[in-house]
């Protein structure tokens, strides 16, 4: 269970995971040694899985963002090839008419189309897909 100090530290790290411990201490009012120890504990407990960065989608040529709903059969239909595909950013198991929600990023519609054709050919257990293309990036977190 996280306490108020942990929550304050995490809030600052979410804004900038490269911020020095001294600056976290200033922003939170927590002693630097305490901040350091708490971050180590949060990592050890698995609360913090990794430190990462957020890229500008347009600057890195990935501003064509697609959400794909997937309906499968009774067999396992998502394999490590899909899970490890660089275009697949997030995969969620969901309830309702579909089983999975994928977040995908591409350079353009042509790159997406090639991915989709290959995906449908290779994923034999997938019965149906439904894709939605984003029109605006209003808020996206890491």
Q: What is the pTM of this model?
A: 0.82
b or e along 58-78 (b: 16 or more beta carbons within 10 Å of the residue's beta carbon)? eeeebebbbebbbebeeeebb
**Strand, coil or helix: 133:** strand
* pLDDT value of position 74: 62
**How would you classify the pairing of strands 88-93 and 100-106?**
antiparallel
**Strand, coil or helix: 14:** helix
CATH of the domain at 23: 1.10.10.10
* pLDDT value of position 69: 97
Bridge partners of 98, per DSSP, are: none
Whether residue 71 is found in the same domain as residue 123: yes
Q: Residue for token digits 């198991």?
A: 93
* pLDDT value of position 131: 97
Q: Residue for token digits 């697609």?
A: 66
Looking at the structure of the chain, the number of domains it has is 2
Whether residue 33 is found in the same domain as residue 70: no
CATH of the domain at 68: 3.30.70.920
Angle between helices 4-15 and 32-45 (to 10 degrees): 90
Whether residue 98 is found in the same domain as residue 129: yes
* pLDDT value of position 1: 85
Q: Please give the residue range of the domain that contains residue 36.
A: 4-45
pLDDT per residue, tens digit, the chain (142 aa), is 899 999 999 999 999 999 999 999 999 999 999 999 999 999 999 999 999 888 999 999 999 999 999 998 766 777 788 899 999 999 999 999 999 999 999 999 999 999 999 999 988 888 899 999 999 999 988 7
Whether residue 29 is found in the same domain as residue 70: no
Whether 27 is covered by a domain: the verdict is yes
Residue in 141, 131, 64 with CA at minimum distance from that of residue 101: 131
């Amino acid at each position: 269970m996280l306490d108020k100090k942990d929550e304050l530290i995490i809030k600052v790290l979410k804004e900038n995971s490269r911020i020095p411990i001294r600056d976290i201490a200033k922003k939170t009012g927590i002693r630097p040694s305490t901040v350091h120890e708490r971050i180590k504990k949060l990592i050890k407990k698995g609360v913090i899985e990794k430190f990462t960065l957020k890229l500008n989608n347009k600057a890195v040529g990935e501003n064509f963002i697609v959400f794909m709903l997937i309906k499968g059969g009774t067999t396992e239909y998502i394999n490590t090839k899909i899970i490890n595909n660089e275009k697949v950013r997030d995969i969620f198991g969901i309830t309702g008419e579909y089983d999975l929600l994928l977040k995908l990023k591409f350079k353009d519609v042509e790159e997406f189309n090639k991915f989709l054709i290959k995906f449908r050919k290779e994923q034999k257990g997938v019965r149906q897909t439904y894709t939605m293309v984003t029109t605006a990036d209003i808020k996206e977190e890491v």
